[in-house]
Chain A
Amino acid sequence: MSEILKAIAAPSNPNVPQVRPGDTISVFVRIKEGNNERTQEFRGTVIRERNGGENANFTVRRVASNGVGVERTFLSCSPRLEKVVVHRHAHVRRANLYFMRTRTGKNARLKQKFN
């Protein structure tokens, strides 16, 4: 990528730390409703992380009520992300944890990694 494009591209969001697949995180997203702005927490497991400069993104999966899985993808550089909190890491052997989609209940747990 040319130097000019690097200078123009969206700068990285300083409130977003490095996240890894398997991490349990909370993403605090600014949401605009009419004239009000509020922050919404989205807590779940990171099942995918994609690099790519200004287009870098990660996908968080959480199981909502009635066992309905909800996945949300966030752009790492997005100014809408107020903060990202990493609660725990997990031992995973894959880069993309798509197998989590077919698992429910106790089967959907990941082994915690301490470091």
Chain B
Amino acid sequence: MLKGLIGKKIGMTQIFDEAGAALPVTIIEAGPCYVTQVCTVESEGYSAVQLGFGEVKPKSLTGGQLGHLKRNNMPPLRFLREFREKNPELKEGDQVTVEVFKVGERVDVIGTSKGKGFQGAVKRYHFKGGPKTHGQSDRHRAPGSRSSTTTPGRVYKGARGPGHMGNDRVTVQNLKVVLVDTERNLIGIHGAVPGAKDGLVLIKEARKQ
């Protein structure tokens, strides 16, 4: 059975477990997702399941997108994402709901982190910056040297420095499922997940358990 869902991050709150301990919980509105396509080794060269999520007005999709969904009489869906699955037991048109996850299971959550804009090396890579005293001026948050001297005479590619931060695809592994609400299609995950509220998140079975 496929263990994957597409969802929307609602926000964070606090609940209590049976022992009475307070847990920080991220609430995700996940599914119901439709199986929009089943990829097989014979036809596509790899096996996967494509899920669709987020109903929209038909006019906000292109004709090609509508035609892709029309094959299985599905509503217009905004997001289509593939989940790799060795032996997909699902058929096109099936629905996947939060019931695939049980309380206590471990999941990986993928999201797009909040954009931070152009940031210096101190915030972006946790550089230490310069000394704060001993006659320093304008060097407090400077990155320092980026490379060697005449040899090689240039900065190696990939050297860390200031630049655009955030707005990246980020995976957080091994988060615990603490709440599954099948009525409202909600899933509660212990701890924080990447991205802003209303952001798209993918939930998968944990790779490293």
Chain B positions within 8 Å of A9 at CB level: 13-15
The answer to the question of A68 belonging to the interface, with a C-beta cut-off of 8 Å to chain B, is no
Shortest Cβ gap from A39 to chain B (Å) = 13
- Would you list which residues of chain A between 5 and 51 have a CB under 8 Å from chain B? 5, 7-10, 30, 32
Q: Is the interface of B mostly helix, strand, loop or mixed?
A: strand
Flag if B15 contacts A8 (CB, 8 Å): yes
Q: A2-B10, A55-B14 are in contact. Are A8 and B20 (CB under 8 A)?
A: no
The answer to the question of B6 belonging to the interface, with a C-beta cut-off of 8 Å to chain A, is no
- Compute the total of residue contacts between A and B using a CB distance below 8 Å: 47
The answer to the question of B186 belonging to the interface, with a C-beta cut-off of 8 Å to chain A, is yes
Chain A positions within 8 Å of B16 at CB level: 10, 77-79
Chain B positions within 8 Å of A2 at CB level: 10-11, 197
The answer to the question of B179 belonging to the interface, with a C-beta cut-off of 8 Å to chain A, is yes
Q: A10-B14, A77-B16 are in contact. Are A4 and B22 (CB under 8 A)?
A: no
Flag if B20 contacts A10 (CB, 8 Å): no
Q: Mark B1-40, 1 if CB is under 8 A from A, else 0.
A: 0000000001111111001101001010100000000000
Closest B residue to A13 by CB, please name it.
Answer: B16
B-binding residues in A (CB < 8 A): 1-2, 4-5, 7-10, 30, 32, 54-55, 75, 77-80
A-binding residues in B (CB < 8 A): 10-16, 19-20, 22, 25, 27, 29, 179, 181, 184, 186, 188, 197
